[in-house]
Amino acid sequence: MSALRLPPLPSVRNIIKMYRLQAVKQLSQNFLLDENITNKIVKYVGKVPNSEVLEVGAGPGAITRSILRRLPKKLVIVEKDKRFKPTLEMLQEAYKTVNGKVDIFYDDILSVDTKSLFSAENARDWEDDCPPIYIVGNLPFSISTVLIIKWLHAMSEQRGAWAHGRVKMTLTFQKEVADRLVAEVEQPHRCRLSVMAQAFTTPKLRFIIPGEAFVPKPDVDVGVVTFVPLERPRTRHEFKLFEKITRHMFSFKQKRCIKCARTLFPKVSQILMADELFDMANVDPNVKATYLSVEDINRITTAYKSLCEKYPEIVGYNYRASRRVITRKDTKSVSIQDYDEE
Ligand code: SAM
């Protein structure tokens, strides 16, 4: 492993003290200070020397230092909190002394066009090996689920960073979310996130970082997950349609999946329609959703599309809206999240 000694810099712990960088709860700031842990995260990133790396939420820069020591050709940082400007610029200057390049954007990663962050010269065809372009981040808990769904969507359409090929990601999640992302069929954590992540990538839970390793200490442990985009995704359906079907199939995790599927159809015809759906898809209607493979849900999506062509009136049916009408009576509105995640 090639490694670089950066010019002498104050420790991350001292930088936090010097600049009074107290963690902001709204930005889910929990900092890593242990170099052994940040080096271990970066070990999973990929072949960093000479590559282009995007780090999401660099904060005071402990992971950033571990990345720079591995000599990427270019490091791009997207950090929302401008208080980190002096510390990140210190690293930028230090890397310049060895002719390295660090680009810093003070922005919200959810609104950044990730395609423009990387150069076309490193792009690869989708069927080729993964390009020397990597994404890494100790993600803020508050956006990690939204971000991974957004990026899986982009990946499914080979947009954003994935316009450059099968860009690998190494990201952190609350342990329970990490468990869900990698949960296989029949495992208790299996949910919408598992199916979506596994339809488009091979997600692997690499190791757990105990909560004690962070400052301030979060209430939970953290899992480091790598995602390698699949050369052939396990569904070819449009992302939003596949995601909708997956979400409905996991609407009641303890019930038979056919009961969940009924939420796709207007009340008056839902029993007949759901029966027809499962017949067409050739999926056992009596199992719980945790028993469904990505391929099962893919076939259910195909069957749903056929039913939409046969009965166009079901296309716009919205279970959430129909529930809202019912629950408004007792002035309580129900969000899709209420029956989406366990
Ligand atoms: N990488 C640092 C570390 O490991 O010590 C900090 C990790 S901290 C869990 C998350 C970082 O993401 C914070 O620096 C926070 O300011 C930043 N952040 C929060 N929301 C963000 C967003 N929407 N876009 C970009 N950065 C964000």
Cβ contact 237:297 at 8 Å? no
Q: If you measure from the C-alpha of residue 138 to the centroid of ligand 1, how many angstroms do you get, rounded to a whole number?
A: 7
Give the Å distances, CA to CA, from 234 to 32, 184, 213. 35, 14, 36
Distance CA 113, CA 248 (A): 30
Distance CA 180, CA 289 (A): 14
Distance CA 318, CA 166 (A): 34
Is residue 57 within 6 Å of ligand 1 at its C-beta? yes
* Predicted confidence (pLDDT) at residue 52 exceeds the cutoff of 80: yes
Q: If you measure from the C-alpha of residue 218 to the centroid of ligand 1, how many angstroms do you get, rounded to a whole number?
A: 14
* Predicted confidence (pLDDT) at residue 325 exceeds the cutoff of 70: no
Per-residue pLDDT band at 326 (split at 50, 70, 90): very low
Going by C-beta distance under 8 Å and a sequence separation of 6 or more, which residues neighbour residue 313? 266
* Predicted confidence (pLDDT) at residue 333 exceeds the cutoff of 80: no
pLDDT of residue 248: 97
Is residue 63 within 6 Å of ligand 1 at its C-beta? yes
Is residue 104 within 6 Å of ligand 1 at its C-beta? no
Cβ contact 193:146 at 8 Å? no
pLDDT of residue 331: 35
Tokens of 298: 């893919």
* Predicted confidence (pLDDT) at residue 20 exceeds the cutoff of 90: no
Q: If you measure from the C-alpha of residue 16 to the centroid of ligand 1, how many angstroms do you get, rounded to a whole number?
A: 14
Per-residue pLDDT band at 2 (split at 50, 70, 90): low
Query: Chain-wide mean pLDDT for the chain?
Result: 92
Cβ contact 44:225 at 8 Å? no
pLDDT digits (tens, 9 = 90+) for 261-314: 999 999 999 999 999 999 999 999 999 999 999 999 999 999 999 999 999 999
pLDDT digits (tens, 9 = 90+) for 136-169: 999 999 999 999 999 999 999 999 999 999 999 9
Q: Distance of alpha carbon 126 from its chain centroid, rounded?
A: 20
Task: Give the residue, by CA position, lying nearest to ligand 1 atom 20.
Answer: 27
Q: Locate the ligand 1 atom nearest the alpha carbon of residue 33 and give its number.
A: 5
